[in-house]
Amino acid sequence: MTRRLTITALLVMASATAVAQGSLEDVRKSHVEANVPARENFNRLLQRDLVAFFTARTKRAVKIDYRLLRDGPTQSGTAYPKYYAWVRILDGSNLVDEGPVRLAAIERSRFEVSDFISSSTVRSDPSSVEQVFPAALVSGILASAGARR
């Protein structure tokens, strides 16, 4: 009888875990859908918001080249979906700065930069990258900056 109760309890727990995981996936998916811009607007909005951020930061008109470090968003709990990119900040054809940036996609209409680390900082303090960016991206960021661990 005890063995039968234990097996039943395990089955109930496994079922509850599957339901909870399904619910978490539904929440994650709903946050992504509610906040990530439509594909046809994504690059335009991201470019606009990166230019605005770095124009304000450098106090001059700049152009931005970027490449995403992941194909899609990273969703954690109920936070806004995050994107990670390597940006190059240009004044005409002159490189002003470059480095990794973390952005949040908000209400399908804008991106907000939460973190930027200059490549010079990445080289002088490689651990600064680990404090902001997911572990899976760290080695690629360090390589892009020409940094060593």
**DSSP structure string for 85-127:** EEEEEEETTEEEEEEEEEEEEETTTEEEEEEE--HHHHHH-TH
Give the per-residue pLDDT at 118: 98
Number of structural domains the chain divides into = 1
Domain, as residue range, for 99 = 36-145
Task: For residue 26, tell me if it sits in a domain.
Answer: no
Q: Are 47 and 63 in contact (CB under 8 A)?
A: no
In a domain, 22, yes or no: no
SS3 state of residue 44: helix
Residue 9 buriedness (CB in 10 A; 0-12 / 13-18 / 19+): exposed
Other beta carbons within 10 angstroms of residue 17's beta carbon come to 10
Which pLDDT value is given to residue 13? 52
DSSP state at residue 71? S
pTM > 0.95: yes or no: no
Is the model's pLDDT at 17 over the cut of 60? no
Window from 2-11, 48-57, 103-112 with minimum mean pLDDT: 2-11
7 in a domain, yes or no? no
In a domain, 21, yes or no: no
Tell me the C-alpha to C-alpha distance, in Å, between residue 27 and each of 31, 78, 79, 95: 6, 8, 11, 41
- Does 27 map to a domain? no
In this structure, is residue 19 part of a structural domain? no
Question: What is the separation, in whole angstroms, between the first and last Cα of the chain?
Answer: 57
Whether residue 29 lies inside any domain: the answer is: no
Q: Which two tokens stand for residue 100?
A: 């990794």
Specify the 3-state DSSP secondary structure of 128: helix
Is 84 a domain residue? yes
Least confident of 13-22, 33-42, 86-95: 13-22
